[in-house]
Structures are given as structure tokens and as C-alpha cells.
Structure 1
């Protein structure tokens, strides 16, 4: 074995002493930095595709800098949920401090910029297909720093699940008929199969995977040194990477995470006011494990961040505007005692008694942050000047932000409110498109028109499976009749009482502080360990049974809706809730986020019969290949494989066991006696590669929730499918 300089390196230790988990460091800033480093590295592995290291460390080549990083591997995941220790520069002395998150962000951004400039220069390398990391020396550098000592960085451990990672791009192979080759990194503009709908440029805001015609060129950067092959980077209409801005967002995220972690360690017990539902919504303390800056709150003061963030158990009164009815836009399918309740009446019932409305006006609730920002916009200022909008200020009881930060919950209220939020949260502006508002009501009408009864019949008993309804909305139109961006609210039915143990999967799997414990752990781990103690069975056996129950009560109904109705839901972990019984087993499920519903084009006639005019204002129909790819990413990669990765990385169950169980479940759903009509089970089993979002590159080149096909493309990468025989 040789180092990157060609010098001989002794073999690596494959089972070094177990080091303390960096996430448990007593100083919140240090633990927060370690968590962010891990997020950045997980993104890098997913988007560049190094093979599983042969030893205890991963080599990250830095062609633009002329060096490399050595990263201790605490756990190597078949599904991409790796655990890493503090990285070190290959050439650094043994007593040098590890590379922190901001430095790592700068180095990775520098690599991306260097590779793109080299690829687009005259005479640069031609576009190449295949894996961006195929043949990268992840194993070659596993033995040490490239020095005479060959020392493995402190913290390296032997990871479970041998074989390629699903977070790594697959070796180059023939492309599937409906997508790019494995490992290709592409800029995509979302689902172009559906025409632009009124009120927005993108019929489905979530970035659906592009079809072949939407794939930008893939170019490769030159090798930095012998043995370091090129890395694919996006090319085409993407803007230039802003390394300084990226590093700044990462720094902001680290600082916010440290504050959240310090607060939650000081007060680890869940307050009893909001019940299990709110506790789960507030549990994602460290943020999304695949996001490079998961706690970003740019533009907020520290006091605002604590007030508006679920991680800090924030709460606040809503800010209210009075809207003249002449500029009001609204729709409602909310019913009480069989009668439709108009959206303005629902808003009035939720408004505080202190909200004093002028005659002929309707109350519009806003996030306080949004109310401050939107008043600076020219069109909104003109509406205020004309007396069509009036600022009533903050008023009423506090509402609590849920995991998305912009959806708010008040215990005892019949509705939750999904608010527009322009300032970037984790790098994204989250303002509704008018098409999304229509889509929520439309889905409710479809379900109420008979589809909901069929769903309940297919999955009888309580609590069963259902979609959390978004049956009403309010918004503002300008003098020209067009939507005024940022002045709107979705009124969401709140089906959860204080005794309902409903937990979003992201909150269930997230490590967090607990009373009486010094180590972070997830509620999922607490549940499984408690069930194992109660039943006298091994933890790994209980974990496997928990996972199987989840597949049957949550995943199977989602597949049923796709197959029977042609509705593919954006069922990632934050949008998916599992209902737990008194012992902690999965007993039912709920999906939320109707703005992410996609209707298959092939099912248009059937859906039109169910609801005449469906899709005309929501722009929800997409080509089947778009629905396939997006559904497979959200439900397959983010949700199910993410749950497998959580079980594995938290040492609850071997990922190989869970992947085998998943194969059996999908095989039965694809061709068994209880088979479903959805195409996802067969595609999930048979596709050698899967497409998913490339969050690191997206943070460098564009936002993660594009609102238009040209201005803000998103970036996708093709990864190996851990279920496929070629990978398993």
C-alpha cells in the first residue's frame, strides 16, 4: 500500500480502541462542530462516491489544495448514514488540531470551484459519464497519513456492513432507460412534464428528479496527483459557487447548533404542555444528517433564533394583518357538521380576542419574521398605502414551531398553520406558490370524494393510515389580480390530541439529550431498548420487528396510494409520522405536506372522473418517470433507507439484516399474493442505481427547493442501490 505521494505505508489498524463519541463532548460548541463535520463528510461521500475504506480511515483528496484529509471512520453505513471522527490534514503533525467544520467547508468548496473551472476551461477534459468517485483512493489512504508512521487518526473504529455504501456512487454501468448513468451529477429543474400552473413557475415545488432531457452536462476536474482520478462536477446553467457564502452558512449553522445543544442539555426533559407530537417535532436538535448546514438561520438575532426554532422549544404569538376583502383570495373545503366553513371564518376563530379588525377586513396570520420582511416589498407597501392592508401587530397566545419551523402548532387548537417564510431556513426561502395552496384543498376533496374511504377499507382498524388534510387557505392578490408572494397561510387540520403518540420519523431517529444521561441518543433507541428489556429479547431482534411493523403500517399505505390512485407523495422523514401504541410499536401512520403530492399523468382520466377539473389550478400532474424518481427518492432513499441507516449507525441492528427484510417486503409488494399496483417496489429492487439530492453541491450552486426551472436549478447525484444484487 502506498500513500498519495507514493511512499510505502504500513497496514492500518482495523480495530482501534473505541474513542468517545464527539457528539457527546461536554462543550456544546465542540460537539456542534463535530456534528456539522459529520454532515459535510456524509454529503461528500454521497456525492463523490469513494469505496468503503479498507482500514479505519477515509482519504479525502484535496486536488486544489495539494493535499488530502484523513478521516477516522467510526461506522461505515450501507445506506449512507456514516459516522466519522475529527478529520486531520494528511501532512499535518500528529499534535495538530483537527480540521473544524468551517475549514472543511472552505476546502470542499474550493475543490468544487477548482474542478468546475478546470472542466470548463478551453481544452479541458470532455464530459464523462459514470461515477464521480469511481476508483477514488478511499481505501488506498486508509492506512495512515502518508508518513513513515502510518498512524490511523484517533477515533477510527471498525464500521459495520461491509461492501459499497448506498451513499457512494456506483461503478459506471449502462444507464437505465429512463435516467442518466450511475454517478452522474446533474442540474435539474424539477418536473417539466406538467405545464406551468397559474400563480407559479413550477407545478411541483419539491425538486423532482429530471428526465433525460433536463440533465445538464457533467464535466470532470483533472486529477490532482497520480492516483487521484477526476471528480464529476455540475456544468451548464448553474451559477458560480460562492465558497465564502457557503462557509459563512456552515459557520452560522455550527453556532446555532451549539446554542440549541447547550439549551437542551440544560433542560433535557420535554415539557408536558404539547404532548408527544410537539416533543417529537422539537427533537431534531442537530438537524438533518445529510445537510451541510442543517441549523442555518441567516438574518436572525440570537434572541429571534431561540424564539422561532423548534430545537430551542421556541414559541411566539402570531403577527396579524387585516386584509380588505377586495384583495382577498381564499378557498376552503373545511367542513363542520356537514357544512363548509369559509377560510376567513376559520382564521377569525383562530385569531386572538385582541385582534381588532376594521370593517370589511379579514384577519391574516403571519410569522413575525415574515411580517417584518414582507413590508419592505414594493407591492406590499403599495397595498398598505392604499389602505387595503393594515398591520394589527402581534397578538394572542403563543404558537410553537414544528420541525419545519414555518408550520406552527398550538395545543388545543383545531388547526395548525403553515406560514410562508422568506428568510432562508437551512438555506431555503419557504414561500408558498399559489399552485401549492390549491393542491392542498384539492387533495382533501379527492380523499373526501371516496378515495379516503377506500384507503380506510384497505387498512382497517385504528389508528390506521391517513393524510393530514390542508383543506383551506388564505392569500392576497395585487391590483392586477396576481398573487402577492409571501402573504398567505395554509390552514391544516390538527388530528393529534395530547394523548396521541404521533412522531415524525426525523424526530424519532434524531440524537438528542435526555434527563440523567450524558450521551445523546434518539427516541427510537430508547423505544427499542425498552421493548427489548420488557420482552426479554435481544435489541437487534426487537429493532428488526419494529422496522417490519413500520413497513406494513406506514410504507405499504403509501405504496397503495401510488398504485391505486396514481398519487405519489413526498414521503420523506419529516413529512411522515408514525403513530405508536402504548408499548412503542408502530401502529399506524400519517402523511403531511400535500403541497408535495404528484399525480401520475397516466392516471389523469381516472383522477378526472374522481374530481372533475383536478390539476387545472394545482399543476399537479407529472410524467410517470418524474413521479417514479421523486417517489423513490423521498420514500425509498430518504425515508426507508434513512431509517435503516439510523438503526445501523445507532448500533441497534445490522443494516444487512434490515435490508434483507426490506427486500422481502418489496418482493411481496411487487409480485406476491398481496402485491400492490405501485411500480416502486419493483424499481426499488431492480434498479442498480438511485437518484437523490446532492445537498452539498446544491448549497454551493443553488437552493434546495427551486421555484423555477432556470433561475434556481437543483443538483442531483446517482448513487448505488444497496438492495441491488450488484451492490449487496
Structure 2
């Protein structure tokens, strides 16, 4: 086989990675077959895109049933093309906010170049295996045209705050008057006491210590509401102090080895599609989930799958004078016992061009691929389906929110879900939730059952579970179709228990097994339409479309 374009110098690697991501987006969102001619179905080892009368094309190095395709050098009208030009042409062909996407792509290429160069120089990660997996996402989302776009982050900031560069930093602390602070705690120490403990100092009487990400702190100082609070003596910036924290894969959540909690901080950067600042509802959502779980609302799932758990976010604190959040807030996340056995799925499947196999590839190389996929399906994917069947709670469990628990040999022994934002609630279950909590409204994202089904199909199946199969396949460790058959068989085996878990509880899994097409998120079109997925209405957060169902193909191939 010809040399892999991802094995070139850091700049060439970054450019090709973005071209591949763009091609993956195009063939998925335009339903273009890879490995066969779109008109005749005959074998074809090239992919071709007609953009504004010019031919963008590449050799197919690997055709993936789950979408993790690999391509050779990309040309435009027979000549090499860089990703910025390619995305400009594709954007113009499709319509939309092309100028912004072009800018974000150029920025993303620069960042990935830096990440690749650094990681090739420093390939060995920290001894903390949980943190190591959080820092492995060199290339980012493999189906996003600008996966490492971080609008507003300077190069100097990047060196300090990027997990890919193993950055770390102390928190920036503010002293706030009690009357402009809201907080809540449903477990553990109250948020005010915890913040003082983390800061290593006590506030003055009538004051509360509130931490911020340093980038956010400096940005907040230029915002009128914060400036007003400072001028009135209600808020005082104290600066950075205390031990260093490390950013996890999301950038905004920080972790410190040995600390009892992680902190999810607001961060006004536009990361890929959205600015990452918490809303008041999101801050309280983690508390509601904690109370629901403590009440026994998901007791059936907990008994059936003790190996799976939801990481709790039981407390929060925010400067919110007048009841409106200011961007100065933190959600507190418990660090589960035995966090060292957990790996971020995104880190497990992340490519490491010029360094070696993915972490998952290293594990499967010495294990059995089919057994690994079977265990993953039984112990990570099925519990999420069981929770939905029983409670109506749908987890937005994409790769970064999914933690895989491994034994010392690398076998899957369980899973965890972490987030305080990504909880859907099927509207048919809302009365039960309100009755259980004794409240009149829920902080969960309540939408029609059909919409939750669609979102879970994308996040749990396409983004999460199929990424496992695609990763193993692209590394040449197993045939993806065989692994799709394994996953389908394990889902079939779970159908009776899912049906018993709740009304029509096997509905979603049956759809995955039987439907010819399933919903899929269109990251390229979402980006061109300029949708902020955090702020958009729940039923219009992204562009979705129907795409062929690879799981059904795997089931039929058995």
C-alpha cells in the first residue's frame, strides 16, 4: 500500500486529517457510497466530488461500513489541494456560512499541527491513566470539518489550556458578596464550604469564593455586568492561586489527580459548534438527576447492571445577580471511586498518527476483538438502553461523555456516563418524574419520545458504539461486518430484558436492528448553518438526516 498521508510531517498530517474529515462528512451527509460506484454499484476505489464544476477526488484507502473511512492524497482538478480551499469550495457548493467555516478550518489546522508535533516529541502520557485518555484527542471529531476550532484562544493560551498539549493551570478565584451568589448541594459538603476547601483559604465574613477558568476570568472582566459588580464592591478578582488543574477532553472540565471532585467551568470559547457557558437550568440538572437516582427511580437498571453508573454532579455555585447567570459559575462533579479504571471512549479510539496504534487498538491487539465488542455492548451500551426503557431518561452519551471501565488486562468490565447537561427526558415519562420529585417542572430536556429516540440513535449508536467497531476495523484487527454481527447479536439477546424494563422498552433496540435507515447528525451542514447546539431549541439543535443502518447489514450478514 502507498504511504499513509497521516504519517507525514505535522503540517501535512494536520492538513490531510482535515481533508479526510471533510470527505467523511460529504459522503455521509450526501449518501455517497464508498468503495463502489454510486451509479452502478461496481467496485470503485476512488471518491469524487463535483464542486462548482471542479473535481475533488481521492483514492479510498479503507472503506468502513461504520463510516471511519480512510483516504489517500486529495486532489482538486488533478492537483494537490489544502483543506481551507477544499472546505471553501464544498461550502460554496452547499451554501451557508462559508466564510466562518473557512476561518475555523484554518484555525483548526494550525492547532492540530501543533498537537501532532508536540505529541510526536512527547509520546508518553501521564501515569494517571484516566487523565492520559482525556488528553489523547489529537485530531478531534473525525466527522467534523473543523474539529479543533477554538475561537478566541490565542496560541499562548492554547499551550496552557489545551489537553492535547497536557496543559495545566491554577484556578482564578473571585470573592463575591453572598447576596449575588446562588448555590445548591444535594450530597457531600455544601458548595460554599467545598470552594473554600479547594481554594485553601477562608473568605471574609459575608463573602463566598468562586473559581473560574483563567481564560473565562479575563474575559469576564471586560463584560459590563461583571464590571458593574466589581465597581460596586460585590465582586473582587483575587487572581490565580492554588494547585494546578488539568483540562479534560472537553477543555472546560478540570481534573486534579487525588482531588475528590472535578469542576465543570463555564468557558465562553466557541468550541466546534457552540460556546460552552452553563445555563441556570444546566447547573441544577445534575442535582435533579442525583435526587432521582437516590430515590430509586432507576433501581431496576442499577440492579440489572451494577457495573454501569452515572457520575454525579451534586452541587453547583454561580454569581447570578438578578437570577441570571453571568458566566461565573461551576458545577461540581464527584470523582468516582476507582477512577483509574476508566477511560474516555474518545481517547480510546483517537488516532495517533506517526506515534502508533490507538489505545483501543493496543488493547485489542492482545485480546479478542469480538469478545471486546460483545463485552462493550453488554456492559456499556445495553445499560444505557435499559435506563431509557425504565425511566425515559436518554443519555447524550457521545464518545467524550462515555467512560469505559477496564480491568488490568484491558477487558471491558463496565461503564460510566458523565455530564450535567446531556439528559433528555421522553415527554411520556414527565408525569412520573414530577411525581417522584414532588415538583411542578423538570430541569431535564423534555421532548417528544420520537425525538429522544432519534437523538439516542445518533449519540449512543452512531457516535459512540459504532466508533468502537470502526476503530478496530481501520486498524486491521477484525472485519467490521463481523463485529457488527456481534453487536447485533448482543442487542438481540438484550431485547427480552429491555421489553420488561418499561412500556415498549425494546422499541429503540429493535429499530436499530431492523430499520433500513437511521437518523444521523450532519456536522458539516450544521456548521454551515451556523447553529449553536447549546442555545438552539431542542428539536432543532442540529441538522439531521436519514442514512443507511450498518447494524442491520451486520445482522443480515450473520
TM (norm. structure 2) is 0.93
**What are the residue-to-residue correspondences of 1:222-371 with 2, within 5 Å?**
241-272=96-127, 275-335=128-188, 341-353=189-201, 357-371=203-217
| Change in 2 beyond 3 A, CA 1:329/1:672 | closer
Deviations 1:359-391 (A, max 9, x none): 311111111111111222222221111111111
Match of 1:391 among 220, 237, 240: 237
Deviations 1:245-293 (A, max 9, x none): 2111111111100101111110101122xx1100000011111111111
Contact 1:253 1:297 in 2 (8 A): yes
Contact 2:389 2:498 in 1 (8 A): no
Determine the C-alpha separation between the residues in 2 that align with 1:44 and 1:267. 34
SS in 1 for 2:150: coil
**CA displacement at 1:678 relative to structure 2:** 4.2
SS in 2 for 1:578: strand
**Residues 1:526 and 2:362 are matched in the alignment:** yes
SS in 2 for 1:486: coil
SS in 2 for 1:714: coil
Contact 1:565 1:603 in 2 (8 A): yes
- Which residue of structure 1 lines up, in the alignment, with residue 39 of structure 2? none
Match of 1:484 among 316, 325, 342: 325
SS in 2 for 1:268: coil
**Residues 1:60 and 2:49 are matched in the alignment:** yes
**CA displacement at 1:51 relative to structure 2:** 2.1
SS in 1 for 2:151: coil
State the superposition RMSD in angstroms: 2.1
**Residues 1:70 and 2:57 are matched in the alignment:** yes
- Which residue of structure 1 lines up, in the alignment, with residue 542 of structure 2? 714
Contact 2:275 2:532 in 1 (8 A): no
**CA displacement at 1:448 relative to structure 2:** 1.3
SS in 1 for 2:138: coil
- Which residue of structure 2 lines up, in the alignment, with residue 150 of structure 1? none
SS in 2 for 1:330: strand
| Change in 2 beyond 3 A, CA 1:507/1:343 | same
Contact 1:352 1:395 in 2 (8 A): no
Determine the C-alpha separation between the residues in 2 that align with 1:406 and 1:381. 23
**CA displacement at 1:610 relative to structure 2:** 2.6
Determine the C-alpha separation between the residues in 2 that align with 1:580 and 1:434. 35
Match of 1:624 among 432, 445, 449: 449
Match of 1:602 among 406, 422, 428: 428
**Residues 1:33 and 2:15 are matched in the alignment:** yes
**CA displacement at 1:465 relative to structure 2:** 1.1
Deviations 1:438-464 (A, max 9, x none): 11100011111224654432224xxx1
SS in 1 for 2:251: coil
Determine the C-alpha separation between the residues in 2 that align with 1:360 and 1:524. 51
**CA displacement at 1:713 relative to structure 2:** 5.4
Determine the C-alpha separation between the residues in 1 that align with 2:63 and 2:213. 41
Determine the C-alpha separation between the residues in 2 that align with 1:502 and 1:373. 33
Unaligned 5+ segments in structure 1 are 1-17, 114-240, 336-340, 532-541
**What are the residue-to-residue correspondences of 1:486-565 with 2, within 5 Å?**
486-497=327-338, 500-512=340-352, 518-531=354-367, 542-565=368-391
- Which residue of structure 2 lines up, in the alignment, with residue 471 of structure 1? 314
**CA displacement at 1:406 relative to structure 2:** 0.4
SS in 2 for 1:87: strand
Contact 1:307 1:314 in 2 (8 A): yes
**CA displacement at 1:73 relative to structure 2:** 0.6
Determine the C-alpha separation between the residues in 2 that align with 1:496 and 1:647. 29
Based on CA coordinates, which of the two structures has the bigger radius of gyration? 1
**CA displacement at 1:727 relative to structure 2:** 9.0
Q: Larger relative CO (CA 8 A, sep 6+): 1 or 2?
A: 1
**Residues 1:380 and 2:226 are matched in the alignment:** yes
Deviations 1:14-70 (A, max 9, x none): xxxx11111111x111111111111111111111111233322111111x2x12112
TM (norm. structure 1) is 0.72
- Which residue of structure 2 lines up, in the alignment, with residue 690 of structure 1? 518
- Which residue of structure 2 lines up, in the alignment, with residue 166 of structure 1? none
Determine the C-alpha separation between the residues in 2 that align with 1:673 and 1:101. 45
Higher helix share: 2
Deviations 1:409-447 (A, max 9, x none): 011111000011112122420011111111110001111
Determine the C-alpha separation between the residues in 1 that align with 2:298 and 2:496. 25
How many residue pairs match? The answer is 546
Contact 2:279 2:325 in 1 (8 A): no
SS in 2 for 1:594: coil
Which moves more between the two structures, 391-400 or 422-431?
A: 422-431
Deviations 1:557-593 (A, max 9, x none): 1111111122111111111111100110001110101
Contact 2:425 2:444 in 1 (8 A): no
**Residues 1:83 and 2:66 are matched in the alignment:** no
**CA displacement at 1:550 relative to structure 2:** 0.6
SS in 1 for 2:205: coil
SS in 2 for 1:587: strand
| Change in 2 beyond 3 A, CA 1:684/1:713 | closer
**CA displacement at 1:682 relative to structure 2:** 1.1
**Residues 1:435 and 2:288 are matched in the alignment:** no
